[in-house]
Amino acid sequence: MQAKARAKYLKTSPRKMRQVAHLIKGKPVEEALNILNYTPKLAAHYLAKTLKSAAANAMASVGTAKLKAEDLSVTNILVDQAPTAKRIRFQSMGRVFRLRKRFCHLTVLVEGAPEAETPKPTRRKRAKKDVATDNKPGDTGGEKKKTARSAKAEKADVEDKKEIKGKNSKIDNKTSANEKISDSENKSEEA
């Protein structure tokens, strides 16, 4: 994956910019930025800004989840001449010297291989299994076969009924205990 960033009309000469660009050509982005941070030239500042922009462009186009800044490297740096500003400087005895203020255009190309996407595991739908019902020898097979889902549903219904019966029996036990207590009170009163 290749990305680029351009900076135009930078106020330094192309020759000075190329001297600094030669230091970082072909290096990883992280190492190139470390070199530029400790290079005491104005061109290094411009190059660092453009390099950061190129790295950000690369990560934005692919996505930060797939591409990291550490994976990028500087593939090429192009330094082109921009229009020169012509100025004058007055000298002694009425003379005038011509000053040429040079500008340059800078293009930084970075490249990195994004991580291959691993396909997400998809949930498979379970195939419905046919569960045969207990057919008696004399049956003609008039009943339909039950699916696994309906068998599970029936099993859950049976369990629910058992729970309800268990709760009812507890309630019956409590009421019978209350009746026993009231019977014993009645007997004690009669006596």
* pLDDT tens profile 23-34: 999 999 999 999
| Region of poorest pLDDT, from 69-73, 93-97, 155-159 | 155-159
Between CA 16 and CA 105 the distance in angstroms is: 12
Query: E strand or H helix at 118, and its extent?
Result: none
Please choose, from the candidates 53, 61, 157, 63, the residue with its C-alpha nearest in 3D space to the C-alpha of residue 106. 53
Question: pLDDT tier at 62 (50, 70, 90 boundaries)?
Answer: confident
Instruction: Classify residue 170 as exposed, middle or buried by CB count within 10 Å of its CB (0-12, 13-18, 19+).
Output: exposed
- pLDDT digits over 101-142, tens only? 999 999 999 998 877 666 666 776 666 555 555 555 555 555
Least confident piece of the model among 26-30, 67-71, 77-81: 67-71
- In contact, 110 and 58? CB cutoff 8 Å: yes
Strands 96-101, 104-111: pairing kind: unpaired
Residue 43 has pLDDT above 80, yes or no: yes
Taking the C-alpha atoms of residue 135 and residue 144, their distance in angstroms, rounded to an integer, is 10
Tell me the pTM.
0.58
